[in-house]
């Protein structure tokens, strides 16, 4: 059984310090164990100097070393073989809560507090139990099955922002409890050695590898705190629990998009449904249009409407126009009436005109506002705005009067009005202008965005350089994978 050297305090008064070490260094993931980990003596610098410290082996065991082991009672009665473990994910690391033992049909659940001894390669001893104690109904719906949830499934490694396959599970045997040992899932094994171990070929292939290279096959673990499951199965085997995708909140939308492309259809839908709508919208815009359409046809219309709500209007129009009429109508019905009307209006415009790709998410400010007031507007509206470098100045009737850049705002005084610092002669395009003509204007003036006006010169939206280029040169989007 793989083991890592830790430390133990021999007197009873040091038990709390010992527990702090085991939980803080292993259970919270600050120490990443391996079979050759050094003695972490520094972990006890804060412990009482009166305590006597001696070396102890902190044991680790792989799931593949537990599964299929025979389970016996303390009186010698054979109960069956282990086929799975249950665990709760409410703590930092999942804590094993019971055994699933097969001795016929149905499988039997044995609570972990009944376990007395774990003997790797030989078996597990549990207290004598009544038949009712092993009733699967006694397990909680929030308890997951480790084997069904992880082995041979895809998970997301947050540390590498990629999808990986689970070959084995690395478990810590924690002896800090006074009553019985606890078992924690601390690492996901994604290496080839984990697969060989499960197949029973580890010793042979590792021996050959050591003979050729003078070293062992490298273990490849992902600490649990860097794992984002794509789905988990509860103890009854039929319920896919809702996934907490909060660990993906720090990942860039483009990286989430790469992950979505690597996942299967079911896992992709599950993950998107668990993300915050704004995060899901940003990631979905980065994937190819065919994949976006596939998601739109499969995901729940209400969830998809929440994602569409967070997209720029032009992106939403492009996506909804590709969906089947039935699915498109279902999404429209789930959208707020105002947002649905806005998207529906844009979808009526010619596919070759500016109106078909313009965005209605922009910053427009009255010409009478001061710089200080505009900065307050920017803070409030920047989250839902596609581009904030340009602020378009309008009069009370909505007519375009000028444009102000972020640079001009930062250099002006707090009391300066927009009418004093704006550029009056604005280059704008009308809503029915051909997109290729717009691309020529971008190349000529090197703008990041252009205002879109109607025949009365009222501001209707903006078109960004990126949107124009993607429409004129669609092959650029395909080559970049977006």
Residues 434-475 have pLDDT tens digits of 788 888 888 888 888 999 998 888 998 899 888 888 877 765
Average pLDDT, the chain: 77
Using 50, 70 and 90 to split pLDDT, how confident is the model at 3?
very low
Least confident range of 219-223, 245-249, 325-329, 426-430? 245-249
> Lowest mean pLDDT: which of 96-105, 126-135, 179-188, 413-422?
126-135
257-284 pLDDT, tens digit per residue, is 887 887 777 778 877 877 888 888 888 8
* 238 preceded by a cis bond (ω within 30 of 0): no
Q: What angle do helix axes 337-347 and 313-322 make, rounded to 10 degrees?
A: 70
Q: Structure tokens of 6?
A: 């830790």
Residue 40: per-residue pLDDT: 36
d(CA 283, CA 264): 16
C-alpha span between 136 and 100 (Å, rounded): 8
If you count them, how many residues does the chain have? 482
CATH number of 246-348: 1.25.60.10
- pLDDT at residue 176, as a whole number: 62
pLDDT at 466: 84
Tokens of 28: 């919270």
Interval 386-441: pLDDT, tens: 678 889 999 988 899 999 998 999 999 999 999 999 999 899 988 878 788 888 88
**What sign for the dihedral angle of Cα 235, 240, 246, 247?**
positive
> Which numeric CATH code is attached to 60-241?
2.30.30.240
Task: Pinpoint the residues of the chain covered by CATH 2.30.30.240.
Answer: 60-241
Domain(s) of CATH 1.25.60.10: residues in the chain: 246-348
**Could you tell me which CATH number the domain at 364-474 has?**
3.10.580.10
Cα–Cα distance for residue pair 25/33, rounded to 1 Å: 9
- Residue bearing the bigger pLDDT, 329 or 176: 329
Lowest mean pLDDT among 201-205, 276-280, 380-384: 380-384
More confident residue, 126 or 347: 126
- Bridge partners (DSSP) of residue 383 are none
Enumerate the CATH 3.10.580.10 domain ranges in the chain, comma separated. 364-474
């Amino acid at each position: 059984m793989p083991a890592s050297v830790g430390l133990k305090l021999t007197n009873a008064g040091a038990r709390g310090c010992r527990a702090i070490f085991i939980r803080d260094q292993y259970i919270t993931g600050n120490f990443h164990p391996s079979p050759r980990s050094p003695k972490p003596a520094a972990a006890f610098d804060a412990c009482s100097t009166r305590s006597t410290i001696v070396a102890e082996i902190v044991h680790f065991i792989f799931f593949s070393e537990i599964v299929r082991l025979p389970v016996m009672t303390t009186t010698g009665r054979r109960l069956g073989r282990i086929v799975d473990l249950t665990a709760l994910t409410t703590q930092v690391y999942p804590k094993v809560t019971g055994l699933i033992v097969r001795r016929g049909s149905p499988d039997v659940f044995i609570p972990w507090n009944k376990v007395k001894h774990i003997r790797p390669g030989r078996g597990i001893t549990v207290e004598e139990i009544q038949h009712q104690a092993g009733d699967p109904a006694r397990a909680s719906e929030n308890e997951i099955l480790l084997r069904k949830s992880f082995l041979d499934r895809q998970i997301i490694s947050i540390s590498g922002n990629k999808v990986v396959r689970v070959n084995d599970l690395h478990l810590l045997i924690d002896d800090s409890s006074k009553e019985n040992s606890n078992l924690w899932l601390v690492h996901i094994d994604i290496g080839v050695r984990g697969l060989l171990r499960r197949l029973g070929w580890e010793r042979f292939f590792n021996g050959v590898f050591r003979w050729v290279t003078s070293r062992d096959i490298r273990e490849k673990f992902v600490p649990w705190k860097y794992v984002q499951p794509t789905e988990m199965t509860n103890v009854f085997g039929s319920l896919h629990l809702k996934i907490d995708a909060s660990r993906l909140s720090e990942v860039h939308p483009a990286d989430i998009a790469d992950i979505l492309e690597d996942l299967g259809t079911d896992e992709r839908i599950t993950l998107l449904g668990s993300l915050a709508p704004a995060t899901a919208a940003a990631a979905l815009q980065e994937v190819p249009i065919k994949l976006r359409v596939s998601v739109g046809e499969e995901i729940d219309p209400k969830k998809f409407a929440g994602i569409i709500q967070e997209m720029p209007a032009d992106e939403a129009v492009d996506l909804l126009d590709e969906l089947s009429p039935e699915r498109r109508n279902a999404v429209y019905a789930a959208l707020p009436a105002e947002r649905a009307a806005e998207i529906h209006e844009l979808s009526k415009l010619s596919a070759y005109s500016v109106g078909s790709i313009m965005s209605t998410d922009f910053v427009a400010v009255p010409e009478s506002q001061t710089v200080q007031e505009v900065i307050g507007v920017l803070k409030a509206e920047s989250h839902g705005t596609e581009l904030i470098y340009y602020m378009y100045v309008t009069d009370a009737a909505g007519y375009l009067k000028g444009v102000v850049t972020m640079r001009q705002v930062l250099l002006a005084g707090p009391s300066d009005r927009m009418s004093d610092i704006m550029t009056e002669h604005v280059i704008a395009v009308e809503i029915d202008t051909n997109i290729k003509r717009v691309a020529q204007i971008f190349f000529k003036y090197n703008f990041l965005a252009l205002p879109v006006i109607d025949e009365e010169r009222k501001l209707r939206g903006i078109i960004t350089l990126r949107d124009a280029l993607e429409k004129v040169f669609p092959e650029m989007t395909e080559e970049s994978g977006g």
